[in-house]
Structure 1
Amino acid sequence: MNPVQPALDGTIPEPTDYQTWADKVRPTFVRVARSRRRHWLTWQIRKEYGLDQAPDPAHDWGRFMTQLAADGLVQHDGFGYTLDRSVVNAWRGTRGARRGRIS
Structure 2
Amino acid sequence: MTPIQPHLDGTIPTPTIPAARRKAEDYETWLEEAWPFYIAAAASGETYTIYEIAERHRISQPPDSHMWGRLATLLREAGYHRPVGWTTSPRPTSHHSGLRTWKGTAAARRAAA
Question: Which category describes the TM-score, using the shorter chain as reference length?
Answer: 0.7 to 0.9
> What is residue 72 of structure 1 aligned with on the other side?
79
Structure 1-normalised TM-score?
0.78
- Asked if structure 1 preserves the Cα contact closer than 8 Å seen for 2:23 and 2:62, the reply is no
From 82, 87, 91, the equivalent of 2:98 is 87
Q: Displacement of 1:52 after TM fit?
A: 0.9
Q: Is 1:29 aligned to 2:38, yes or no?
A: yes
Aligned residues: 90
2:36 alignment partner AA: P
- Asked if structure 1 preserves the Cα contact closer than 8 Å seen for 2:49 and 2:102, the reply is yes
1:82 alignment partner AA: S
Q: Displacement of 1:16 after TM fit?
A: 1.3
Q: Displacement of 1:81 after TM fit?
A: 1.3
Q: Displacement of 1:36 after TM fit?
A: 2.3
> What is residue 99 of structure 1 aligned with on the other side?
110
User: What are the residue-to-residue correspondences of 1:13-24 with 2, within 5 Å?
Assistant: 16-24=25-33
Unaligned runs of 5+ in 2: 1-14
Unaligned runs of 5+ in 1: 1-8
Q: Secondary structure at the match of 2:111?
A: coil
Structure 1 runs of 4+ off > 3 angstroms? none
> What is residue 4 of structure 1 aligned with on the other side?
none
- Inter-CA distance 85–72: structure 2 relative to 1 (3 Å threshold): same
Structure 2-normalised TM-score?
0.71
1:56 alignment partner AA: D
